[in-house]
Amino acid sequence: MIFTTFSYFLFLIPAALLFRATGPWFRPWVLVASGVLFFLYFSVTEFAGWMGAACIAIFIWEALLSRFYTSRSRWCLLGVAVSVGILAVFKYWNFLTGLATAGGANRWAWHGAFLPLGISFFTFEFIHYAVDRYHSRVERGTLGEYLAFIFFFPTLVAGPIKRFQYFVTGLRSPSRDWPLDWNRGITRILVGLVKKFGVADVLSSLTVHLNAADIPHASRPVLLLWLLAYAGKIYFDFSAYSDIAIGSGRLFGFAIPENFDWPYFRTNIADFWRNWHRSLTRWLTDYVFIPLGGSRAGRWRVSANVMTTMLVSGLWHGASLNFLVWGAWHGGLLVIHRWWVTRRGSRPAAPPTALGRFSSWAATFAAVTCGWAFFAMDLPTAALYFRQLIFG
Amino acid sequence: MNLLRRLKDLADYVAGCTDTPPPGVSIGVASWAWALWWGALGLFVLVFCGQATKFIYVDF
């Protein structure tokens, strides 16, 4: 559970106090030591046990390799390749070998497969640093600073995905406004806990029914209620997590990137994605969409870039086909929205009416909520859900 | 829309997302109001904390 355990807070507060009490040279090492302890403790007690804890070797390897990163060097490319490789082996091995042996028994299946704590997030931070070093967009920093960046425990497990250039600035001169930082940090953490316990976990009593056994027996309104509950649950669950991570960072004096800004109130799908899991959206834009060519291409190429980026996003969320379909769903919505904006671009813009704004919001919310069906259920169950919803 | 904007700003401040209070709100960081607010939030957490599920995004 990590953020919802009492031990987390017993760990967080002394670490934050120690960090604030020490001098500039020692500060990074406080974060490294606390991050290592955090990773080992939660790996052993809640995740993959000592096998998971052994994955600390990944961080040590990454820290050593990162010392060789220079502008336009092949070490950076090796760093990216290794990070992608680590993620592929731990997270996608059985999925990919299963696809390769479709229809037959998977002879290459890894039966003891496990996920190292936070692998989906820390590999993205590794890739960011390697790519930005390659392009000279980020300074090298000291070994201690880089280790502090990758071991910073409030964001280690599930983000928000940080950037080294901003993190290191905070590390060298953290905020000194104790009263404000602790007021905002404690408030943020408590609000996060309320969101998680009081809303997301309560909604679980409805979302638990999104399975092949319960769906055939449910009426349309109930099916809709379950999916709406899932839309609420995933927002309150992940924004709660982000709140606690950001609030925890604030206790140290760090400004952690925001992840959510009222996404369900947005009136188009592009705006939704600018405000939903923002640190991931920005990462995908910088390290997938722009390298593919971004928006500086013909209409079809841009559409392909958008779709590819969202497919990567889908696959990153989970190693199964339903996440790929979820990514394709959002890719399709974003492509349609781009075409719509381009088509309307030649017309004089009229101020939006209240009805127009409401229609845009309703369409966006409905599209996003439909998409959650692919996120919450495997493909056969999602198909059954929509069949039951449409045909009864 | 102005009312919605003001409510959003107030909610962001009360939830700890922004540092400066919206216009018309004068609750400083040292106010006793925060202690009461934290007490209410803490009570809410205590009431609901017996049924925690795994965070969705914690390595799925």
Instruction: Decide if pLDDT at A103 tops 70.
Output: no
Between A281 and B55, the more confident residue is A281
Report the percent of chain B where pLDDT is more than 70: 97
Closest residue to A204, CB basis, from B42, B53, B60: B53
Q: What's the first-to-final CA gap in chain A, in angstroms?
A: 38
CA distance A24 to A30: 10
Residues 6+ apart with CB under 8 A from A215: A209, A223, A381, A384, A385, A388
For chain B, how long is the longest CA-to-CA vector? 43
Mutate to test the interface with B, among A181, A195, A237, A276 (most CBs of B within 10 A): A237
Of A303, A372, A249, nearest to A381 by C-alpha is A372
Instruction: Decide if pLDDT at B60 tops 60.
Output: no
CA distance A133 to A77: 10
Omega of the bond leading into A160 within 30 degrees of 0 (cis): yes
Instruction: Decide if pLDDT at A83 tops 80.
Output: yes
Task: Say what the pTM is.
Answer: 0.94
What integer is the mean pLDDT of A178-197? 95
Instruction: Decide if pLDDT at A16 tops 80.
Output: yes
State how far residue B26 is from chain A, nearest Cα, in angstroms. Answer: 15
> Is the distance from CB of A236 to CB of A220 less than 8 angstroms?
no
CA distance B57 to A132: 26
> Is the distance from CB of B29 to CB of A183 less than 8 angstroms?
yes
Closest residue to B19, CB basis, from A180, A190, A197: A180
Instruction: Decide if pLDDT at A375 tops 70.
Output: yes
Q: B59 to chain A: which residues are within 8 Å by CB?
A: 47, 115, 117-120, 157-158
What integer is the mean pLDDT of A304-330? 96
The one-letter code for the residue type at A16 is A
